[in-house]
Every structure is written in C-alpha cells, then in structure tokens.
Amino acid sequence: MAEPVLDAAPRVFMSYSHDSEHHRDAVGRFADCLEEELGLEVLLDQYEDAIRIDWGLFAHQMRSADRIIAVASRDYRRRIDGEAAAGEGRGAQFEGGILRDIMTEDAVAGTRKILPVVLPGWTVDDIPRILNPHSMTHFLVQDVSAAGLGDIVRAITGVARHQRKKRGQWLGKVGPDGVLRDAAAGPARVCEQERWLRSSPQVRAGGARLGGVEHADSVVLSPGVPAQGFVEVELPAGRHRFTAVAGVLDDAVERFQTGRFRVLVDGKPRWEATAGIGQPQRVDVVVQGQVLRLEMERPPALPGSFAGRPPELAWGDPVVR
C-alpha cells in the first residue's frame, strides 16, 4: 500500500517548564530541529518572546495543534501533576489543566495527540503521571537531529515505519497439514491456459492417455522441437499441494522414448522423475511459493538411436489443491 501523503506540515505545540536556562536552551534546539530540518510548524513560547503576548491565549493553541509535545523534566512533572505551589511555574500549571481536560474529554484521541518526550539528562520518571509514562508510549531522544528523531516524527505524522499491507481474503479452512485452504474453491487446474504466465510454444492443453488411463485435463508436449517444454502458473492462495501423473503418451510414435519431468517452485526444484511408456509417475508434493513451473523433456538420444524423433509427453490432470 502507498504511504500516506500529508497535505500540510503538522502543527506541534511544545509544552515544557523552565527548570533552568540549560533545559530551556535544550528545548529550543529540539524545536529548531523540528522546524529547520524536518519542516514541522512548531508553536514554542521562545519564538514569541519579542513582543507582549497573552500567554493564556497562546497556551490555548494546544487544543487546535495537531500534536502536543510534553517535554519531561522534574519541575514539569510536579507542576502538571498538581504537586507545585500555587504561584510556582504558572505557565506549566496552566498547560497542565489543558492537558488534563484534553485527556478527560477523549482519552483515546488525547493519547494520540499528546506525545511525552524525554531529552538527554532526564528519565521516564520525569514524565507527568497523568500521561501514564510506564504504561503508554513515550519517546527517548538521544540525538537531537533529523536522523535521531525518526520515532517522534512518525508519531507526529502518523506514518508508521512499516506500513500495513492490504489484507488478503480469509480462506477459512485449515487442512491436516496445517496449511490454510479455501473452503469454497476446488482444486486449481493447471491445464487452464488463462492461468499460464509463460509456456513453451509447443506446449498445449488437452487430453492425454497415460498408462491406460485417460486424463482429460492435461498439459501436453507433442509433437515439437526442441525436445523440451514448460509451463508456469501462479500458485493460488491457500492451496499448496500439487498432484499429477507424468509420463509418455500411450499413443506415442516412438515406443521406446522416455520422459524427464521436473516440478519447480520459484526456480527451486521440488520433484523430479523419469517415466517410460506405460509406466507413468505419480506426483504429490507440497508447493509453497509464488510461481509453479512444470518442465518435461526427452533426454538426449543415445548414439545410433532415432535422435530426431520428437517428444510425446504429458502432465496428466495437474492440479494444485
């Protein structure tokens, strides 16, 4: 499936407390990286401190932002969790009230919106308890760079590292070998030429008599040159057992010829045998993969024999179950 495409850069509100100048600067560098290197729109108080501003209204942008990054620190945890004195860190305490209201209004949406981040020098224990730091996802940032912020960017954008693939059809039945099978569909007949991905020009679908038994739905190599032929089909989902009868046609002109037969899956041999007239070989083999290839050939003639005689071979009733 294609990756989601975002029409506009997500707006991210940076919620934190001024524990120290060092911490304030670290948050600023983190926000700069998100804006300059990753192209996000960051709402950070440090970007607005050149003018007089209503910080209460500024904080209310937390509600309209696509994501809120809650930057962990000791004082931030205390102030958000209501453990600080009334006059301490009023900005962080005000933002804490908004965080609690967002989580109370819709816990699922709030959990996706609020992203706890731990910068170097702090630990998961510095995340506010209302954000459930030990039972919910948090983001440890060791490297403040585009390369080091992959996890947090995925959480901001909602684009997962591994995209979910389109789910296939549930087959609904498990065989005795533990392989899922389609309960409604019968065996897939290899002789149906619309299934063929590739084939030799001299190979055709039709009837074949092998060892005195008629096989109406067969893959036949007769007559033709060169002395080899093949057919390739896509293996149907949920069916992984190939059965057939392989041999020389009972009405072959050359009565003493032999045929060599091979079953391959994704280019890897799974079964091989040689058969003579009146002595066909039965095939029953597991074929798990993408492409099934059936090969048949008349081995090179011995000196003094009829080297130019064409092969007369067939896969009788080949099916994938």
| pLDDT digits 0-9 by tens, 173-196 | 555 655 555 544 578 899 998 889
Q: Which two tokens stand for residue 208?
A: 């074949």
Residue 294, judged by CB atoms within 10 A of its CB (0-12, 13-18, 19+), counts as buried
Cα separation, 106 vs 19, whole angstroms: 30
Q: Which domains does the chain have, with CATH numbers?
A: 11-157 (3.40.50.11530), 174-320 (2.60.120.1060)
Q: Which residues of 125-139 are buried (b: 16+ CB within 10 A; e: fewer)?
A: ebbbebbebeeeebb
Residue with tokens 């940076």: 14
**Cross-strand partners of 68:** 13, 114
Cα separation, 69 vs 60, whole angstroms: 14
pLDDT tens digits, the chain, 321 residues: what are they?
Answer: 444 446 788 999 999 999 999 999 999 999 999 999 899 999 999 999 899 999 999 999 999 999 999 999 999 999 999 999 998 999 999 999 999 999 999 999 999 999 999 999 999 999 999 999 999 999 999 988 888 888 888 898 888 888 887 776 565 555 565 555 554 457 889 999 888 999 998 899 999 999 999 999 999 987 655 678 999 999 988 788 999 999 999 998 888 888 999 999 999 999 999 999 999 999 999 999 999 999 999 876 555 554 455 678 999 999 998
Asked if 115 and 70 count as a contact pair (C-beta separation under 8 A), the reply is yes
Length in residues, the chain: 321
CA 115 to chain centroid: 26
